[in-house]
A and B are shown apart, each in its own frame.
Chain A
Amino acid sequence: MSRKGFMQLVVIPLVLLSLLLSAGIACQAAAKKGGTLVIAVEKDAVNLDPTLNNDLASSTVQRQIFDTLLAFDEENNVIPHLAVSWENPEPTVWIFHLRKGVKFHNGDELTAEDVKYSYDRGRDPQSRGQNVTKLGFIDSIEVIDKYTVKFNLKYPYAPMLEYGVYEIVPKKVVEQMGDAFGRNPIGSGPFKFVEWVKDDHITLVKNENYWLKDVNLDKVIFRPIPEKSVAVMELEAGGVDVVQNIPADLVPVVEKNKQLSLSSTVGINYFYVAFNTQYPGPISNPKVRQAIAYAIDMDAIIESIFQGVGGSRAYSAVSFPDFWAFDNKIKDQRPTYNPAKAKQLLREAGYPNGFSTTILTPPDMPRKKIGELMQFYLAQVGIKAEVRSLDFGTLLDDTYAGKAPIVVLGFNRGTDPDNYLYSLFHSDPEAWAVNASTMNMSRYHNPEVDRLLEEARKSTDLAERAKLYIRAQEIIFLEDVVHIPAYHRTEIAGFRNHVKDFIADPMGRVLLVTASRNVWLDK
């Protein structure tokens, strides 16, 4: 080996490696231990039992107390966590191998029994939980041995791994405590539950024996502060260290303050205008829906509401940046503002003089405003729209009952396109017949789309799935115009400068201690 070759092959990589290592060590050394992190959240948790409740407010806290079978990395890929590996020997069989020696906060070891119990409790209709329907694809779960658990599915289900990001509870403790477990949870995660004063605070302390890493923070306090403007003032005054989900109009306040920092990322969520495709009258006609899509300038509406800060235009339910199941042709071919074309389409559909209709919206600012601006644009082409902002319970009731011709809604659940496209657009005639709840509130039934979505959820070949999803999106958004996609909400977190290693998460989660992250305080 020549001297030069030796240099290239051995010395340079060694130097680089040592540089990298020392940089890594320098970073590690900088992280300080200890301190209390106070996080302002919008709502108090409802119930801290993760198998029953997974609303955002509850799961924000649950995530710090419990470990999940699998986890998301920062690019939202599924990675090992409590399970170190898994196999998929048959399309409907998944086998997970658990990490040994993981302890719950009470000292008991976490085993396959706990995994089976957590899923079974979540999918048991008697539990009255929010996971029952979501876990409906599971047929049975078997404990193979102490560290091996086998899932038998009812049908091949591509998003299975994403449902591995699911909190594991201690069977023995939950069986003893019953409903009380939701107020005194015990998990295996980075923080232990200490105290919960309803609507005031939840206190967690460091789990000294956390298996993943040595947790930096000593204590975490979640404080529900319903008014965002007050939460930001609390951040300025130093009463809290982190405020999640800062609305666009308060961003300048945080930016101006030198003691505060912002972190933002395009959210994995979807806000949209849905048509009831079976509503008697003009809205059931795809031509009319196309006309509406041409009549309103959704680009301008989203720009005027968010001014580039709080949300970005959506072109499909899954038009997330660089997302594998989305193709830019759906964006490029979308109906863009063209009132002349809208009028022509209305004429062709037999409504040359327009018609009257109703737009329902939830009471929050962005969605209410979308309704109002749509009303303005629709008036230009002769469509008289009445906008009604309702509280969420009433809105859902009306929508499930098919009483809403046009409704502005929003949604987020995980990252798999199946969660979005199958739930929102696969037909659900049984539910419609009895006005029951369904995610397909558009009452959209297209056998071709049903077939594409069914095939896509069964295939495990990503390229094949992408093809199917992109075809389905063409039909849904370009041909049938079931929705007018509105926006993906930007997740914006504000925090005091002494909070280190913290970022806003696209799914709105609070990430404190993960495989790649360990939040600490520099004070």
Chain B
Amino acid sequence: MGRYILHRLALIVPIILGVTLVVFLILAFIPGDPAQLMLGEAASKEAVEALRAELGLDQPLLIRYGIFLKQLLQGNLGTSYIQRAPVLKLIVDRLPATLELTFFAMLVGSVIGVLAGIISATKQHSLWDYAAMFVSILGVSMPVFWLGIMLILFFSVNLGWLPVSGRGPGVIAALPAAFGGDFGPLIQGLRHILLPSITLGTGLAALIARMTRSSMLEIIRQDYMKTAKAKGLPGRLIIWKHALRNALIPVVTALGLQFGQLLGGAVLTESIFAWPGLGRLAVDAINARDFPVIQGVVLVITLGVVLVNLLVDLIYTVIDPRIRYS
């Protein structure tokens, strides 16, 4: 097991090399000059050339990539051209906001999705089943942007129950206070994150619901389920312990694969809800051709996706002890 994990972690190195190289090449070939965008439209050509030299943009591509890798080994992601601050700091400042948002979106997606899937499967062809599957089709096909705006309009503007936008104090940052007995900031943080996480998690919930349903339906028809029923076990125990556990394997796989997708969706969600996360940092950096920041964000997201998928593979062994890695 330990060797397996080490092996998987070692694989991160070629993945990072590949991803950063691809991003590097894309950035080298898209039009738009960071020095130009930094200095504004009225800048003289001498000023732009001088800045290009200072930023090292006049160097050949391979040398620039080499410098990037060397810095990376030293744990240095470079300095943002535009914000004149270390990229690592820019990312670390925003990482909690994005982690929080994707975590709660996964929570929303998996809890609602699995519950809806179980209900649909156990009450196949009932009104519940049709309703759940209809809503899940809606959920998969609804554009994130439209859903977010509608949720804000209904819950925040018309009913006035929840804040329209922003992160508030942040859930993670509010945890220490909550452990100290002050739940105010935590509640505020949760109120802020509710709509964004529903917006981001709805598509996932819909997908998970459909997967859970079909996976459950398949398992319910297995012989061991009949055995369990014949043994006289109560229905609830059969579903939750015997069926669900086996049905969850493909669902967990989907969750892992969807994590990258979720981070992509976070870009849009963050923009709708004015959420101070990595997605907005990335969009602004792309528009300004702030190369070091783009590289940094891609690197962190790649790491995130790789690690989450490793985690998923490890979770298999918990759900299904028959699965072993060596």
Contact of A394 among B30, B44, B163 (CB under 8 A): B30
Query: A73 at interface (Cβ–Cβ under 8 A)?
Result: no
Chain B residue contacts of A236, Cβ below 8 A: 157
Q: Are A47 and B83 in touch, CB under 8 angstroms?
A: yes
Contact A132 B47 (CB under 8 A): yes
Interface string of A76-119 (1 = CB under 8 A from B): 00000000000000000000000000000000000000000000
CB-based contact A130/B43 at 8 Å: yes
CB neighbours of A182 from chain B (8 A): 84
In the bound assembly, the distance between CA atoms of A200 and B273 in angstroms comes to: 10
Q: Nearest Cβ distance between residue A147 and chain B, in whole angstroms?
A: 32
Q: Does B287 contact A46, Cβ atoms closer than 8 Å? A: no
Which of these, A46, A128, A198, A239, contacts B39 with CB under 8 Å?
A: A128
Picked from B48, B160, B165, the residue with its CB within 8 Å of the CB of A225 is: B165
Let me know if A350 is at the binding interface, CB within 8 A.
no
CB-based contact B41/A437 at 8 Å: yes
Q: Which of the 9-residue segments A62-70, A226-234, A443-451, A478-486 touches chain B?
A: A226-234
Decide if B235 is an interface residue (CB 8 Å cutoff).
no
Chain A residue nearest to B159 in the complex (CB): A237
Interface residues of A in 184-241 (CB under 8 A from B): 197-201, 223-227, 229-231, 233-234, 236-237, 239
- Contact: B94 with A396, CB < 8 Å? no
For the complex, what is the distance from the CA of A436 to the CA of B30, rounded to whole Å? 17
CA of A14 to CA of B157 in the docked complex: distance in angstroms? Answer: 53
Q: Looking across the interface, which residue of chain B has its beta carbon closest to that of A234?
A: B164
Query: A133 on the interface (CB 8 Å rule)?
Result: yes
Task: Scan residues 379-423 of chain A and give those whose CB is less than 8 A from a CB of chain B.
Answer: 391-394, 396-398, 400, 411, 413, 423
A168 to B43, CA, bound (A): 22
CB distance from A44 to the nearest CB of B (A): 8
Binds A, one of B56-64, B118-126, B211-219, B274-282: B274-282
Q: Flag whether B50 is at the interface (Cβ < 8 A).
A: yes
Q: Let me know if B185 is at the binding interface, CB within 8 A.
A: no
Query: Roughly how many angstroms separate A47 CA and B33 CA in the complex, as a whole number?
Result: 20
Q: Which residue of chain A has the shortest Cβ distance to B55 in the bound complex? A: A128
Instruction: Tell me whether B90 and A396 are in contact (CB under 8 A).
Output: no
Assuming the contacts A128-B39, A132-B47, A133-B42, asked whether A239 and B166 have C-beta atoms less than 8 A apart, the reply is yes
Select the residue from B46, B160, B164 with max chain A CB neighbours within 10 A: B164
Tell me whether B271 is interfacial, beta carbon within 8 Å. yes
Asked whether B31 lies within 8 Å of A229 as measured between CB atoms, the reply is no
Q: Which residues of A contact B239 (CB under 8 A)?
A: none
Question: Any chain A CB within 8 A of the CB of B178?
Answer: no
Chain A interface size, as a band, is 35 or more
The listed residue (A129, A230, A393) touching B32 by CB distance below 8 A is A393
CB neighbours (8 Å) of B287 from chain A are 391-393
Are A225's CB and B274's CB within 8 A?
Answer: yes
Q: Given A198-B93, A200-B276, A393-B33, check contact A233 B42 (CB 8 Å).
A: no
**Given A183, A233, A434, which contacts B157 in the complex, CB threshold below 8 Å?**
A233
Q: Which of B49, B51, B149, B165 contacts A239 (CB 8 A)?
A: B165
Which residues of chain A are within 8 angstroms of B210 by Cβ–Cβ distance? none
Tell me the bound Cα distance from A134 to B42 in angstroms.
7
B160 closest partner in A (C-beta) = A237
In the bound complex, how far is the Cα of B149 from the Cα of A133, in angstroms?
42
- Tell me which residues across on chain A come within 8 A of B165, comparing CB atoms: 225, 230-231, 233-234, 239
**Number of B residues with CB within 8 Å of any CB on chain A:** 52
B85 at the interface (CB under 8 A from A): yes
* A132-B39, A133-B43, A229-B149 known; A199-B276 Cβ under 8 A: yes
Alpha-carbon distance A55/B38, docked complex (angstroms): 10
What is the chain B residue whose CB lies nearest that of A129?
A: B39
Partner of A199, one of B42, B50, B160, B280: B280
**Residues 126-153 of chain A: 1 if any B CB is under 8 Å from the residue's CB, otherwise 0?**
0011101110100000000000000000
Cβ of A248 under 8 Å from chain B: no
- Bound form: Cα–Cα A229–B46 in Å: 41
Known contacts A398-B31, A434-B45, A436-B45: A393-B166 contact under CB 8 Å? no
Give the chain A neighbours of B284 by CB distance below 8 A. Answer: 43-44
Map CB proximity to A onto B265-299 as digits: 1 under 8 Å, 0 otherwise: 00000011111110011001001110000000000
4 tightest A-B CB contacts, nearest first:
A393-B32, A436-B45, A199-B276, A200-B276
Query: Given A47-B82, A130-B40, A133-B43, 7 more contacts at CB 8 Å?
Result: A132-B47, A134-B42, A179-B85, A198-B90, A198-B281, A200-B166, A230-B273
Interface residues, chain A, with chain B CB atoms under 8 Å away: 43-44, 46-47, 52, 55, 125, 128-130, 132-134, 136, 179, 182-183, 197-201, 223-227, 229-231, 233-234, 236-237, 239, 391-394, 396-398, 400, 411, 413, 423, 430-431, 434, 436-437, 439
24 example contacts (A-B, Cβ-Cβ < 8 A) are as follows A46-B83, A55-B40, A128-B51, A133-B43, A133-B47, A179-B85, A198-B93, A198-B94, A201-B166, A227-B274, A230-B164, A233-B153, A233-B164, A233-B165, A234-B165, A392-B287, A393-B33, A393-B288, A394-B32, A397-B36, A436-B49, A437-B36, A437-B41, A437-B44
